[in-house]
Amino acid sequence: MNHHNSSDNNEKNIELNNEGKLKTFFNKDIISKRMNNRILLDKVAKKLFFGSILFALIILVILFYRIGVLSIGWIDLQFLTSNLSIFPEKAGIYGVLIGSFLLMVVVIPVTLLLGISTAIYLEEYAKKGRFQSFVNINISNLAGVPSVIFGLLGLTVFGRLLNLGSSILAGGLTLSLLVLPIIVAAGQEAIRAVPGFLRDGAYAMGATKWTTVRTVVLPSALPGILTGSILAVSRAIGETAPLVVLGIPALILRVPNSLMSDFTALPIQIYYWTLDTVLTPEYANMAAATIVVLLVLLFLLNSVAIVIRNKYQRRY
Amino acid sequence: MLNEKNNNHHQNNIVYDVKKLNLWYGDVLALKDINLTIRENQVTAIIGPSGCGKSTFIKTLNRMVDNIPAVRTSGEVLYYGTNIFSDTLRVEELRTSVGMVFQKPNPFPKSIYENVVYGPKIHGISDKKILSEITETSLKSASLWEEVKDRLHANAYGLSGGQQQRLCIARSLAIQPQVLLMDEPTSALDPIATNKIEELINELKKYYTIVIVTHNMQQAARISDITSFFLSGEVIETDATQKIFTNPNDKKTEDYITGKFG
Ligand SMILES: Nc1ncnc2c1ncn2[C@@H]1O[C@H](COP(=O)(O)OP(=O)(O)O)[C@@H](O)[C@H]1O
Ligand SMILES: [Mg+2]
């Protein structure tokens, strides 16, 4: 009974014209004409978008060209292994590299520990509610705060209040603050991407929250966390402004040997050398050579991040 | 055979005694005044249309509902006489004694071996010999051993859906629970894999108490001793499976099993 009724209704739903054919709703000629316009628009759009990427590429090529010309002949083993000197032909960036390296010795553990812990807390422990969204908004805002401001904060808190001056420790902690929001956000995203049914599997076996995080969530989120961390670290390596604010001396002749030493780092050395090209033209070449070193370093770090991301991308 | 089931279903020890259980998601009452007794070494099937609260109910039995924010409960769920909502009960301990198998197979993205020993390991067993013994026993109990014994260290995601589900059963069995909760364990599987799991459940009930949610009534009829019919968050009727499917007391139960709705 019921069945019959519903099939009758179905037939009525298909509207037919007088000739018993399907009713047509639009004129195919008009559609065809409009299609011409749309295809033209599509071609224009393609050219425009290609133009944008071309613009970016041209700028990049000019940049590489300028740096290449300036630095050619200046990058050699001597440049990498000698210390800073007032004589350009004898100067090298050994101490600068050590400075950047020691900065990372501070930045990496501090940011990983604080950043991943914060991300775990926010995603796994904190109640989803006003507090959590308040903190999340603030973290996004912090990630957008200009780095000079972080420099001022570092100067006030680490440089003056904790009396660390312009040491590697002060610089490292300042840079840590700067990149912490990046790592927290990357960590949160990676943790959020771990499917809930994996956590359920662990909880249902009597795992505590921390056991679940340690054995299920973190292993699955690790590639994402690692990628974010590497990008954050490469941001820290390239930052100049906060270090300038901290008052890093312009010329350091000694290689730093502890976290309390004064230091210079790659980006800041580029900055000082560029400032002084009026006095010593060769400084432009040395700045360019240092830029090449920094770029290679960043390129390597980013490649590692990409390799990790591709290798460990999980599908469930 | 069916008579035998009928005869002894009131004699087995009580595992769960659910009394006046209500559960709210926020303001929405999802379980209404549930009263249900679950007995040892029986398969209790929970049937009912989608959204009637079957999953919610079974997730209450091992307190997995705790993980959903805004869930509130009232009433009592006694597990061997202890109220599982009591402050002194440790939910982790409850879950070592009440295992759970989910609708979609959810092995960890680790090796087959690592999946099985996951529970024993997190509960402090580290002796390699014991762990491999547990692996073999659990996989055999889940009728998976023969199929995987040569590739224990291969990733669990290489297994078929049915094998993954049996691996999840093995993973639960590895910590020797008393109860196994299963929420539509075969709904993501093909008929052959489903059949294997049903045979397995028949075997397991000799040693475990099983609560299974299913919206497949034939499945309930085939494998369960007791069937409880849920509708809109309420228990309409609980009785011997044979009785429910041949001569139910409630008109609504009859309508459901004869396919009038759902
Ligand atoms: N996490 C949740 N939050 C809010 N409501 C839920 C949630 N899970 C289930 N419900 C509601 O509770 C009722 C019972 O759902 P469920 O137990 O999943 O039913 P079943 O397993 O029988 O299909 C449904 O109305 C559903 O919408
Ligand atoms: Mg369900």
A225-235 confidence digits (pLDDT tens) = 988 999 899 99
Place of tokens 């009396």: A163
| Contact check, Cβ <8 Å, B109/A207 | no
Same domain, A257 and A127: yes
Closest-lying ligand to the alpha carbon of B183? 2
Look at residue B9 in the predicted model and tell me its pLDDT: 52
Extract the tokens encoding A198: 């994996």
Is the predicted pLDDT of residue A212 greater than 60, yes or no?
Answer: yes
Same domain, A81 and A37: no
**Distance between CA B182 and CA B166 in Å, rounded?**
12
- pTM assigned to the model: 0.84
Q: Which of A30, A45, A71 is the last residue of a domain?
A: A71
Which CATH number is A200's domain given?
A: 1.10.3720.10
Please indicate whether residue B246 or residue A30 has the higher confidence score (pLDDT): B246
Local structure of B39: helix, strand or coil: strand
From the list A128, A197, A314, which residue is nearest B106 (CB)? Answer: A197
Q: Which domain holds residue B233?
A: 14-257
Same domain, A91 and A134: yes
| Contact check, Cβ <8 Å, A204/B62 | yes
Model confidence band, residue A165 (pLDDT cutoffs 50, 70, 90): confident
Same domain, A88 and A197: yes
Ranges of chain B with pLDDT below 50 = 1-7
Model confidence band, residue A282 (pLDDT cutoffs 50, 70, 90): confident
Beta pairing class for B43-47 and B226-231 = parallel
| Contact check, Cβ <8 Å, B95/A206 | yes
Look at residue A121 in the predicted model and tell me its pLDDT: 94
**Average pLDDT score over residue span A240-261:** 83
Model confidence band, residue A296 (pLDDT cutoffs 50, 70, 90): very high
Which residue's C-alpha comes closest to atom 6 of ligand 1?
B25
C-beta of residue A204 within 8 angstroms of C-beta of residue B62: yes
Chain centroid to Cα A264, Å, comes to 23
Which residue's C-alpha comes closest to atom 27 of ligand 1?
B51
Look at residue A8 in the predicted model and tell me its pLDDT: 46
Which CATH number is B163's domain given?
A: 3.40.50.300
**Distance between CA B79 and CA A209 in Å, rounded?**
23
Look at residue A12 in the predicted model and tell me its pLDDT: 60
Look at residue B7 in the predicted model and tell me its pLDDT: 46
Half-sphere exposure for A5 (CA within 13 Å, toward CB):
2
> Across chain A, what does the average pLDDT equal?
88
**A99-113, A271-285, B12-26: which range is least confident on average?**
A271-285
Is the predicted pLDDT of residue A250 greater than 70, yes or no?
Answer: yes
Q: Give the position, in ligand 1's atom list, of the atom nearest the Cα of B233.
A: 14
Q: Which of A71, A93, A118 is the last residue of a domain?
A: A71
Look at residue A308 in the predicted model and tell me its pLDDT: 84
Model confidence band, residue A47 (pLDDT cutoffs 50, 70, 90): very high
Half-sphere exposure for A184 (CA within 13 Å, toward CB):
24
**A34-48, A236-250, B86-100, B231-245: which range is least confident on average?**
A236-250
**B99 shares contact with chain A (CB less than 8 Å):** yes
**A32-36, A53-57, A193-197, A204-208: which range is least confident on average?**
A32-36
**B172 shares contact with chain A (CB less than 8 Å):** yes
Same domain, A85 and A57: no
Instruction: Convert the pLDDT of each residue in B210-225 to its tens digit.
Output: 999 998 899 999 999 9
User: What are the residues facing B14 on neighbouring strands?
Assistant: B39
Extract the tokens encoding A7: 């099939």
- Interface residues of A toward B, Cβ cutoff 8 Å, are 127-128, 197-208, 211, 215-216, 219-220, 314, 316
ipTM of the complex: 0.93
Q: Which domain holds residue A63?
A: 2-71
Please indicate whether residue A22 or residue B223 has the higher confidence score (pLDDT): B223
Please give the tally of structural domains in chain A. Answer: 2
